[in-house]
Amino acid sequence: MYNRIDNFISRDTAYTIHRWCRERAELDPSGRLNFFITNSYLPNYHENAYLMQDLFDLISKAISHEIGYKKEKIKLKRINYQVLLEGQSIGFHTDEGGAYDKDMLFNGYSALLYLNDEYEGGEILFYKSHDGDESKADWHKPMPGTLIYFRGGEENPHSVRTILGGERSNLILFFDVDESL
């Protein structure tokens, strides 16, 4: 099951974050534009660094509130600003277990914050079965400022349809749950 919060941040704030991250994004080996953000990276950048840190704290708080954990149990593991360009998509997958990066194993939640809507296609699909059948999926094309979060394991397979025009950008955040706290 996934959670969706429309207007989690304002459209203007989403575009501010998009512009700030887009200037720093670089092509990765798969041809996607990415910018990996770390907590140590943030203080090196003017006023938007504080906006970003506040945003990450706000998302952590929303997730911890929804799932009933104390905020201290939710630890931000990784943040990725990603742009999908025309012709790109992301196939059927789950996030847990290092879907894209074997060193990125985590036990927790994924959050997607949508930053723009100047693109065609690019809908996110959440599958009701593990066979990749789109007819058994819920799909969304969120507006800028929408937050979608979900447990990153096998219970939430998902994909992103091909971008037919424009660029789709969002922040992808991965959170661990520390059961020992």
Side-chain half-sphere CA neighbours of 4 within 13 A: 13
pLDDT higher for 171 or 73?
171
Phi, psi of 21 (to 5 degrees): -70, -40
Q: For the ranges 37-51, 65-79, 91-105, which has the lowest average pLDDT?
A: 37-51
pTM of this structure: 0.88
In this predicted structure, the answer to whether residue 41 has a pLDDT above a threshold of 70 is no
pLDDT-derived band of residue 166, with 50, 70 and 90 as boundaries? very high
For 68, residues 6+ apart whose C-beta sits below 8 A from its C-beta are none
21-32 as b/e: b if 16+ CB within 10 A: bbeebeeeeeeb
Please say whether the beta carbons of 169 and 118 come within 8 A: no
Q: For the ranges 40-44, 45-49, 78-82, which has the lowest average pLDDT?
A: 40-44
What's the CA gap between 130 and 179, in Å, rounded?
27
Element counts in the chain: helices (H) and strands (E): 2, 13
Q: Given the structure tokens 């424009």, which residue do they identify?
A: 166
Q: Give CA angle at 113 (150, 138), nearest 5°.
A: 50
Predicted pLDDT at 99:
47
